[in-house]
């Protein structure tokens, strides 16, 4: 076992790690404990004892996270989700000025996945057509920061084109008064997102299985794309969004490589052209 017992001693005695709000610190500690367990052996009695201590501390810290997620889930079911998520949304906004364009995941992703508790998908996945991008969730800090900047109201409908397991529409329904729609090619992901919305009582989040090229866009005021597709497929969807923008003002939010393509659309203007590396927000002209 290679775990430095000095750090383990320190973590075992650090009472603050048991405070629910110290999510980031707990997440760092759990990562370190996991690494120790992955690297370690327990051939000798001393090593076996050390391993037991690591496992016990990891279980204790995980239980704090689980209780925090259960408490937020309950708040959402009671209709108080926006309030329960507010400290975490504020944390995402305060870290947003750091030069962080990456799609790395952090403690907020652990929190959101614990809160949403989306089960394993069981149905087989469909083959992807040319240009379609496989599922990868938007990092939670980017979603929370984007929602703070969008300031969605009751009259808004956010449509996530290529919504995967539905994190974005679900968080819209939890944290704002807007409605949300996820359009997703994979029926298995749609079923999982719908079940999550049902369990959390999120009546303002809807999910449709289909191709973004054919989905109804007529109710959307804000469209989100986390690089769900590229090439001709992206072109076809952008042309459809341009038609929508002739009927009413819309906003388009993007994350990832598709931002560069969207930034070239002459019918859109970026809210902050100097920061297209985080979720970018474009307004129709
Ligand atoms: C990168 S993931 C983004 C997931 C989600 N929007 C998020 O931010 O967490 C892209 C998703 O788009 C879906 N997708 C790709 N092409 C699509 C299309 N033509 N119509 C609907 N969904 C599509 C994929 O199945 C995948 O789940």
User: Distance, CA 112 to ligand 1 centroid (Å)?
Assistant: 19
* Chain centroid to CA 6: 35
- pLDDT, tens digit (0-9, with 9 covering 90-100), for 18-62: 999 999 999 999 999 999 998 876 778 888 899 999 999 999 999
Per-residue confidence at 107, pLDDT binned at 50, 70, 90?
A: very high
User: Distance, CA 55 to ligand 1 centroid (Å)?
Assistant: 37
- Please provide the average confidence, as pLDDT, over all residues in the chain: 94
Segment 109-123 mean pLDDT = 94
Query: What gap in Å lies between CA 232 and CA 245, rounded to an integer?
Result: 20
Query: What gap in Å lies between CA 55 and CA 49, rounded to an integer?
Result: 10
User: Distance, CA 79 to ligand 1 centroid (Å)?
Assistant: 28
Query: If you ran DSSP here, which 8-state letter would residue 257 be given?
Result: T
Query: What gap in Å lies between CA 196 and CA 120, rounded to an integer?
Result: 11
Per-residue confidence at 273, pLDDT binned at 50, 70, 90?
A: confident
Total residue length of the chain: 285
Ligand 1: does its nearest atom lie under 6 Å from the Cβ of 180? no
For the CA atoms of 79, 81, 83, 87, the dihedral, rounded to the nearest 10 degrees, stands at: 170
Query: What gap in Å lies between CA 222 and CA 270, rounded to an integer?
Result: 14
For ligand 1, atom 5: residue with the closest CA: 163
Ordered structural domains, the chain, with CATH = 5-78 (no CATH), 92-284 (3.40.50.150)
Q: Note the maximum CA span of the chain.
A: 73
Q: Where are the alpha helices (DSSP H) in 214-272?
A: 231-247, 258-263
User: Distance, CA 96 to ligand 1 centroid (Å)?
Assistant: 24
Spatial contact of 156 and 221, defined as CB atoms under 8 Å apart? yes
Cα–Cα nearest to 108, from 131, 128, 137, 75: 137
What was the pLDDT predicted at 106?
93
- For residue 225, list its beta bridge partners: 254
User: Distance, CA 160 to ligand 1 centroid (Å)?
Assistant: 8
Atom of ligand 1 nearest to the CA of 212: 20
For residue 233 the two structure tokens come to: 């497929």
Ligand 1: does its nearest atom lie under 6 Å from the Cβ of 279? no
Per-residue confidence at 2, pLDDT binned at 50, 70, 90?
A: very low
For ligand 1, atom 12: residue with the closest CA: 162
Per-residue confidence at 174, pLDDT binned at 50, 70, 90?
A: very high
């Amino acid at each position: 076992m290679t775990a430095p017992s000095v750090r383990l001693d320190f973590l075992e005695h650090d009472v603050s790690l048991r405070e629910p709000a110290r999510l980031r610190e707990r997440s760092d500690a759990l990562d370190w404990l996991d690494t120790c367990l992955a690297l370690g052996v327990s051939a000798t009695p001393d090593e076996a004892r050390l391993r037991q201590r690591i496992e016990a501390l990891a279980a204790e810290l995980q239980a704090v996270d689980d209780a925090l997620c259960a408490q937020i889930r309950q708040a959402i079911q009671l209709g108080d989700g926006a309030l329960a998520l507010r400290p975490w949304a504020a944390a995402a906004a305060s870290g947003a000025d750091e030069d962080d364009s990456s799609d790395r995941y952090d403690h907020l992703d652990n929190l959101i996945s614990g809160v949403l508790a989306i089960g394993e998908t069981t149905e087989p996945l469909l083959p992807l057509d040319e240009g379609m991008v496989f599922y990868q969730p938007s990092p939670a800090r980017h979603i929370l920061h984007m929602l703070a900047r969008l300031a969605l109201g009751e009259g808004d409908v956010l449509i996530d084109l290529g919504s995967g397991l539905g994190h974005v529409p679900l968080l819209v329904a939890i944290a704002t008064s807007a409605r949300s729609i996820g359009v997703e090619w994979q029926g298995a992901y749609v079923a999982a997102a719908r079940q999550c919305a049902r369990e959390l009582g999120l009546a303002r989040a809807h999910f449709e299985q289909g191709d973004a090229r054919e989905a109804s866009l007529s109710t959307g005021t804000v469209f989100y794309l986390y690089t769900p597709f590229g090439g001709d497929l992206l072109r076809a969807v952008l042309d459809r969004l341009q038609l929508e923008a002739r009927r009413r003002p819309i906003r388009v939010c993007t994350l990832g490589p598709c931002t560069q393509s969207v930034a070239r659309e002459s019918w859109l203007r970026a809210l902050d052209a100097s920061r297209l590396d985080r979720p970018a927000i474009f307004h129709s002209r």
